[in-house]
């Protein structure tokens, strides 16, 4: 089992080209697994974590409802935003500047074969990171992601998650709002959930800007512990 995770920070990058890059890595890992099985080989499969910041974009998961996007094509253009239907789970979400997007492309057979546990570990890495900033966050029953104020009228989502997995290889991942313009969430019904707000780390801390590199380092630290992995 290969527990090394290759870390790649892609910086600011277009959603479509990043999606294509994810698909390429994902396919290479799946193909290697098929080859290992077919030829009775034991070549180690690689694991990756991609960090990226996207320009304004809305993405709709395969089980999502297009009606949760409240803009037409012209309005999207006016907002400087793009839209994609994609092959992850979940409904609609927004990505944009000031958001840390993480795409773990892992062969879970290197760690554990349990998608539910995988999602809980992703959530836990964010919950532990937010705790380092003095914020108590948690899970909302039946709703993937990380929330503040769970069980109160002020419940608000700070991190969205949606993944795809095939042959125990994962792609897509999480989006943590750090210094995000929350106005862009007004153009959708986030994750298809009505009546609940969205928030960002800088808003919760009452500061203009949070150091995003510091946040990434904390996320990596917690993923490393949870997955008992080594980042290279």
Q: Are 50 and 105 in contact (CB under 8 A)?
A: yes
Longest dimension (CA), the chain: 57
Annotated binding residues for substrate, written as ranges, equal 88-95, 160-162, 173-175
Residue 201 CA to residue 22 CA, distance in Å, equals 27
Catalytic annotation, pick one of 191, 210, 219, 223: 191
Distance between CA atoms of residues 231 and 200, nearest Å = 27
- Comparing CA positions, the residue from 15, 69, 41 lying closest to residue 191 is 69
Q: How many CA atoms lie within 13 A of 10 on its CB side?
A: 21
Let me know if 159 is a catalytic residue: no
Q: What angle do CA 19, 105, 94 make, to 5 degrees?
A: 45
Q: Beta strand pairing status for 48-53 and 82-85?
A: unpaired
Which residues participate in the annotated binding site? 88-95, 160-162, 173-175
User: Which residues participate in catalysis according to the annotation?
Assistant: 191
């Amino acid at each position: 089992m290969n527990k090394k995770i290759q870390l790649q920070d892609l910086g600011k990058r277009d959603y479509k080209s990043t999606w294509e890059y994810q698909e390429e890595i994902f396919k290479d890992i799946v193909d290697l697994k098929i080859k290992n099985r077919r030829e009775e080989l034991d070549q180690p499969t690689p694991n990756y974590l991609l960090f990226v910041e996207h320009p304004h974009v809305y993405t709709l998961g395969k089980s999502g409802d297009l009606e949760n996007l409240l803009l037409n094509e012209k309005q999207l253009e006016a907002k400087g935003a793009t839209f994609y239907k994609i092959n992850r789970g979940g409904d609609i979400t927004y990505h944009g500047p000031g958001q840390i997007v993480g795409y773990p492309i892992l062969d879970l057979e290197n760690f554990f074969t349990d998608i539910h546990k995988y999602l809980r570990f992703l959530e836990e890495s964010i919950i532990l990171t937010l705790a380092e900033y003095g914020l108590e966050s948690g899970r909302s029953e039946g709703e993937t992601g990380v929330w503040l104020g769970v069980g109160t009228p002020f419940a608000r989502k700070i991190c969205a998650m949606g993944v795809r997995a095939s042959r125990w290889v994962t792609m897509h991942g999480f989006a943590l709002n750090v210094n995000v313009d929350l106005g862009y969430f007004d153009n959708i019904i986030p994750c298809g959930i009505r009546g609940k707000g969205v928030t960002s780390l800088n808003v919760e801390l009452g500061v203009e800007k949070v150091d995003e590199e510091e946040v990434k380092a904390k996320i990596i630290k917690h993923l490393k512990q949870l997955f008992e992995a080594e980042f290279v």
